[in-house]
Structures are given as structure tokens and as C-alpha cells.
């Protein structure tokens, strides 16, 4: 659990340098340099979509390496990220549709497969979380207003 929480907090640390797909690799290098545990470094490098396969890595010009989440913690952080858009919890379809729109069909399929795998482990379709939470937190929240 601690590893998942740390991964959730730090997976985008590379965005402090770069907002492209490279942020995952850069983030893993930052984490390495900080002496963070290798398990956390791996979560950071493998968190984009449901991972990147060797073909993606070459097409995207990323440094060679393993970008596919394989441990449960790596998969949870990657997929939780797939179910958040800005500050909203969203259905996994949101990330699938974004990749389909970009023509990244293999990546979209991988998200579907990861969603099914983790939903099976959870015992319920993870999209049910969206219904349970609703739009959380509210987008147009103004701190001085009572509705916050």
C-alpha cells in the first residue's frame, strides 16, 4: 500500500522537467538520482497508459527499456492515472478514447485489458468508482463559497 501511495504521489515527478511522454522516463531518472527504491522508480517509468511496448518505445523515441507495468503496484498506479483527468475521476473509457483518437489502438487495447484484469481482482468493474464518487472534487469549486 505504501508503494502504491508513493507511486501515486510521485509518478508525474518528471513533469517538473517535461510534459511529453518522456516525462515518465525523466521521472524515473529523477527518482533514481534521489535514491528512491527501485520499485518506485519502476512505477514511475511504467505509468503511462497501460504501459508502452517495444514498438511504442521505438516509435516514440524513448530510451530503450521496459515500460510495461508488470507488478500489481505498477498496474494500479498506471490504471488509477488512466481514470483521472485533470482533477476528475473518470471512466477508463476516457483514456481509451484519447488513445483511439490519436490512432494508438494497441495502447487503447492494453488499457481495456488492464481494466478488465484489475476489475476482476477488485471484484467489481472499476468504473463503478466513478458512479460512487461522482465528479470529485467539483471542478468549479470556489473556496469562499459554501458548496465547497
The least CB distance from residue 60 to Fe ion, in Å, is: 14
| Nearest CB to Fe ion, comparing residues 12 and 117 | 12
| Nearest CB to Fe ion, comparing residues 88 and 125 | 88
| Nearest CB to Fe ion, comparing residues 8 and 129 | 8
| Nearest CB to Fe ion, comparing residues 12 and 32 | 12
Contact residues: Fe ion, CB under 5 A: 12
Nearest to 70 by CA among 50, 92, 56: 50
d(CA 29, CA 141): 36
The least CB distance from residue 52 to Fe ion, in Å, is: 12
The least CB distance from residue 11 to Fe ion, in Å, is: 6
The least CB distance from residue 147 to Fe ion, in Å, is: 30
d(CA 23, CA 20): 6
| Nearest CB to Fe ion, comparing residues 12 and 93 | 12
The least CB distance from residue 139 to Fe ion, in Å, is: 20
Residue nearest to Fe ion (CB): 12
Amino acid at each position: 500500500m505504501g508503494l502504491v501511495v508513493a507511486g501515486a504521489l510521485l509518478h508525474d515527478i518528471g513533469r517538473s522537467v517535461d510534459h511529453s511522454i518522456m516525462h515518465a522516463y525523466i521521472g524515473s531518472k529523477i527518482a533514481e538520482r534521489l535514491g528512491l527504491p527501485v520499485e518506485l522508480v519502476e512505477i514511475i517509468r511504467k505509468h503511462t497508459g497501460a504501459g508502452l511496448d517495444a514498438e511504442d518505445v521505438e516509435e516514440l523515441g524513448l530510451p530503450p527499456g521496459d515500460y510495461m507495468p508488470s507488478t500489481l503496484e505498477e498496474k494500479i498506479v498506471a490504471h488509477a492515472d488512466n481514470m483521472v483527468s485533470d482533477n476528475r475521476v473518470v471512466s477508463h473509457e476516457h483514456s481509451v478514447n484519447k488513445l483511439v483518437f490519436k490512432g494508438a489502438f494497441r495502447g487503447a487495447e492494453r488499457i481495456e485489458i488492464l481494466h478488465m484484469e484489475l476489475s476482476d481482482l477488485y471484484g467489481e468493474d472499476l468504473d463503478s468508482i466513478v458512479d460512487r464518487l461522482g465528479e470529485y472534487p467539483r471542478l468549479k469549486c470556489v473556496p469562499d463559497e459554501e458548496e465547497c
